[in-house]
Amino acid sequence: MQPLKRTSTLALRQRKAHLLGTFQLCPELLHASLIERFLKCGKTNCRCHRDGPKHGPFFYLNRCFPKGQMQSLLLKSPSQIDQARQSVAAYAQVQLVLDQISQINHELLRRGEPLVAAS
């Protein structure tokens, strides 16, 4: 993608119109991180406490809250893990589009252009 500063105002407006036109909010959005973990178990004589492989993978869905709090949800079924993966990706996609629109608006403001072209 060409740097915004070297893109014409018309092209910026066209890109923004395209982003807005193709933008879709999908219902499975989820703002969280999918984390894969290998863990030691509770049995101290298990091989995982020596050099053996740890157990897993276990999949956790982590959500962050203000003040550094975090909520962690263990996903138990492959279907949950699949859905979590897709919904986290869907959220990232929406965020990407919003960021692009935001950057275009920032550049338009910097140029002293109206954010919405007069028709």
* Structure tokens that stand for 57 in this block: 């993978």
Beta bridge partners of 55: 39
Q: What is the CA radius of gyration of the chain?
A: 22
Task: Report in angstroms how near the CB of residue 76 gets to Zn ion at its nearest.
Answer: 18
Task: Report in angstroms how near the CB of residue 35 gets to Zn ion at its nearest.
Answer: 20
**Sheet of strand 33-39: strand arrangement:** 33-39, 55-64, 70-75
**Under the criterion CB under 5 A, does residue 48 sit at the interface with Zn ion?**
yes
**Under the criterion CB under 5 A, does residue 58 sit at the interface with Zn ion?**
no
Task: Report in angstroms how near the CB of residue 82 gets to Zn ion at its nearest.
Answer: 26
86-115 binders of Zn ion (CB under 5 A): none
The terminus-to-terminus CA distance of the chain in angstroms comes to 27
- Contact at 8 Å (CB) between 76 and 59? no
Interface segment toward Zn ion; rule CB under 5 A; list 45-53, 61-69, 72-80, 81-89: 45-53
**Under the criterion CB under 5 A, does residue 81 sit at the interface with Zn ion?**
no
Task: Report in angstroms how near the CB of residue 47 gets to Zn ion at its nearest.
Answer: 7
- Interface residue with Zn ion among 20, 26, 35, 41 (CB under 5 A) is 41
Nearer to Zn ion, 19 or 48 (CB): 48
- The CA distance from 86 to 80, in Å, is 10
- The CA distance from 59 to 49, in Å, is 20
Interacting residues toward Zn ion by CB under 5 A? 41, 46, 48
